[in-house]
Amino acid sequence: MQHLVDTDNFSDEQIAQLLHDAKRFKHKRPIQLLRDRLLITLFFEASTRTRSSFEVAAKKLGAAVVHLDPSRSSTKKGESLEDTFANLCAMDPDAVIIRHSDNHAPGMLADMHTTPVINAGAGNYAHPTQALLDLFTMIEHFNGNVKGKTIAIVGDIVSSRVASSGIRLFTRMGMHVVLVAPEQFMPESTLPQYKKLEDVIDNVDVIMSLRAQLERHEEELFEDYADYAAQYCISKERMQDRDILLLHPGPVMRNIDISDEMLEDPRCKVLTQVKNGVYMRMAILKLLLLDS
């Protein structure tokens, strides 16, 4: 039984297989490889992209999906996460896809060894399917190879599970990762760190902008987000005509993370990331449910 808690659950060969399958699925809709399979989604935090992307991916492959809404479940009556999971597993799903605010929740459920667990985002620790779809988007853009490319991750890095998983995966793939953030948003890291994007922008191939995750801050870190945006918003003035791929996992805070104008710019691939997410999640479901 294979789980996806973070991308280190996959070997290099499996990551190569995922990239190959995602590309194949993008160009030709596959037969219903997962007909008669059943997935349960269990999202304890809000989601637009990840939940719907998993459902679309599963349905394109012929699988059925059942969603349990924790706000209307027996969690409200005090049932523990482990007991909720054990009860769902008793219904014999082929995998459970979970998002949770606790960094350790997917790993803890995986350790129960009852049903494959797929991490759809855990605290600020890991969001492996986002990292894999971002890798797929970059590999597609750079015609098959990202080794030696430099990505600047810009914004609220310390709160971001997208950054955590991305840093681990992108460095493993041979990319150079640099971090750009104000002190309040900078994690402890041995990676190169910059307070100003201007100090490194001429040396980067990719910028990944991140949302300021207000809901994870115990106290207000900035008095005024206009001050933050003045320094970190990815605007046309900041990008000029540089040949830089612009990514963001969403949801984008317009004119704080990325300007309206840059969101319309062909260098910005936010919706390509969303599209590629479906094909990458199809590849992940195939690998975990069929190939493992």
- For ligand CP, the closer CB: 132 or 201: 132
CB of 166 to ligand CP, least distance (A): 11
Q: Which of 98, 157, 177, 162 lies closest to 127 in space, CA to CA?
A: 162
CB of 218 to ligand CP, least distance (A): 20
CA pair distance 215, 235, nearest whole angstrom: 25
CA pair distance 268, 262, nearest whole angstrom: 7
CB of 24 to ligand CP, least distance (A): 23
The 10 Å Cβ neighbour count of residue 244 is 21
CB of 126 to ligand CP, least distance (A): 12
Where along the sequence are the contacts to ligand CP (CB under 6 A)?
47-50, 121, 130, 249-251
CB of 233 to ligand CP, least distance (A): 19
- For ligand CP, the closer CB: 154 or 200: 154
Amino acid at 101: S
- For ligand CP, the closer CB: 102 or 111: 102
CB of 241 to ligand CP, least distance (A): 28
Q: At what angle do helices 49-60 and 128-141 cross, to 10 degrees?
A: 70
CA pair distance 131, 141, nearest whole angstrom: 15
How far is CA 143 from each of CA 75, 129, 209, 247, rounded to the nearest angstrom? Answer: 46, 21, 22, 17
